[in-house]
Structure 1
């Protein structure tokens, strides 16, 4: 199973933890953006953007760890356009509050998960074996 994780830099350690846990169980991470430093030029932005775009397209599924960064919802949009399975992971119920949620969070391809990263890893490994 090939996966990509979209999130923000503030979730870097959570992304690394989810990635390592899935890879330990034989999954393939299409691109680990957490190894990047912040881009310092337009050329770097383009290069990273191409790598991230290609990784989303190569993945079987997308994991979105909220809260996300500037590119998180763009990566989710790429996955939605390809009709890929998306797991949207929220630490609490606020992502589902009517005043804060997005129409795209409720599409058939998107499965919402509320809880800790640890609980999500347990769910994923049990759900997709």
Structure 2
């Protein structure tokens, strides 16, 4: 079972905790963007964008950790367009707050979770049983 984890550079530590936990349970991360440096050129951006787009397309599900950057929202759109399950996490209520939420967070196929990261990881594991694959 393959997944892609989307977020922002300021959230790298939580992304690494998530991916480590999923990988330990036998899931496969399609691309680890946390190993990238910040892009220095337009060509760098295009190369990274191509890798991330392909990683979303190759995944069975997408995980988005808030706070997420603009690229994460594009990745969310790619996954929505492909009908992939999406798991959206926030430690606070921003994804449910009318002033800060996105219309796309409330579409079918997006499972929102507000709470601590370890509980969110357990939620994903309960939903995505790798023994079925």
Shared fold, TM over 0.5 = yes
- Which residue in the other structure is 2:3 paired with? 3
Structure 2: 5+ residue runs without aligned partners? none
Q: Give the aligned partner of residue 107 of structure 1.
A: 107
Corresponding residue for residue 22 of structure 1: 22
Per-residue Cα deviation, 1:22-79 (whole angstroms, up to 9, x for no partner): 0111000000000000011111111100000000000000000001112010010010
Misfit runs of 4+, over 3 Å = none
Q: Which residue of 1 is the match for residue 98 of structure 2?
A: 98
Range with greater deviation from structure 2 (38-47 or 96-105): 96-105
Structure 1: runs of 5+ lacking an equivalent: none
In the alignment, the residues of structure 2 paired with residue 99 and residue 14 of structure 1 have an alpha-carbon distance, to the nearest angstrom, of 24
Q: Deviations over 1:53-110 (max 9, x none)?
A: 0000000000000011120100100101111100010111121012222111111110
RMSD of equivalent CA atoms: 0.9
Does residue 39 of the first structure (1) align with residue 39 of the second (2)?
A: yes
Does structure 1 residue 128 correspond to structure 2 residue 128?
Answer: yes
TM-score normalised by length of structure 1: 0.96
CA distance in 1, matches of 2:57, 2:128: 20
- Verify: 1:80 aligned to 2:44, yes or no: no
Aligned length: 129
